[in-house]
Amino acid sequence: MPGLVTYEVDENVALIGLNRPEKRNAINDALLLELRDVLAEAGDRVEAAVLFGHGQNFSAGLDLGELADRLTPEGQAPRKRRPRHLWHSTFDLLARGNFPVVCALHGATIGGGLELASAAHIRVADETTFFGLPEGQRGIFVGGGGSVRTQRIIGYPMMADMMLTGRILGVEEARRCGLAQYVTPPGGAVEKAKELARIIAGNVPQTNWMITNVLPRMNDLSHDDGLFMEYLNTSMTRPPEARKRLKDFLEKKAPALARPE
């Protein structure tokens, strides 16, 4: 019986699906634990991944029903805090793991669902996708890293607007502010994401790792420290595959670059 997260491997690309369609793929602890385990397993097997949602939506965010149960006077708080927030640790495993992730979006990409999408490296949205951060209207705050990741993508003014007013973004507005790098007709996001993931999987793994793990950390550094970090990474020993690719390019033997639209 399928779990809350589906997982299959197509050559060297993982296909990872949120699988609570009857709940609009709302995110709870059980789903996060399955997603964490899938990401850890895929890390040793694949070079890229596609993350998508089964059913009519990518994800409507936090399972508010389960949250409400914990907030009632009868709800039992854990005796001890977890060593690290489950949402943060799981999304960090996606954002700074061993392989790049292309997120295929459709329907509701709301709240925690948007925070999850923000942890991916490339986002493809079909024309049915809509984006929101309704936490301000729910009496809660973002809790899946959105205050860091989503804010860095769209900036404070847009994020404050979305959270304070409940503003919903359509797919073209989302593309303009960086939430979606690609837009497809309805139903086309997963195939486009697969196409991109296959291109990414063909890169040198060390380069992919630098792009997904080193590059985002540059935002946290000063100008001089960022340049020094860049110098350290360009000075690393190149794997044989990288040297071969450079030699093939210089000798005009390299294949033409893929040009996704």
Which one from 34, 135, 191, 241 is the annotated catalytic residue?
Answer: 135
Taking the CA atoms of 77, 28, 179 and 226 in sequence, report the sign of the dihedral they define: positive
Reply yes or no on whether 230 is catalytic: no
Q: Choose the catalytic residue: 11, 66, 115, 251.
A: 115
Q: Which residues contact 139 (CB under 8 A, 6 or more apart)?
A: none
Positive or negative, the CA dihedral 77, 83, 88, 90 is negative
Q: Is 11 a catalytic residue?
A: no
DSSP 181: S
Q: In a structure prediction context, what are the per-residue pLDDT tens digits for the chain, which is 261 residues long?
A: 579 999 999 999 999 999 999 999 999 999 999 999 999 999 989 999 999 999 999 999 998 766 555 555 555 555 555 545 899 999 999 999 999 999 999 999 999 999 999 999 999 999 999 999 998 787 888 889 999 999 999 999 999 999 999 999 999 999 999 999 999 999 999 999 999 999 999 999 999 999 999 999 998 899 999 999 888 888 876 667 766 666 665 566 666 666 556
Q: Where in the chain is the domain with CATH 1.10.12?
A: 205-250
Using alpha carbons, list the distances in angstroms from residue 18 to 7, 146, 159.
Answer: 9, 19, 25
Task: Just give the CATH number of 5-201.
Answer: 3.90.226.10
Options 1.10.12, 3.30.70, 1.10.3470, 1.20.120; CATH of 205-250? 1.10.12
pTM of the model: 0.86
Measured distance CA(31)–CA(11) in Å, rounded: 25
Where in the chain is CATH 3.90.226.10?
A: 5-201
d(CA 223, CA 215): 13
Separation CA 252–CA 250 (nearest Å):
5
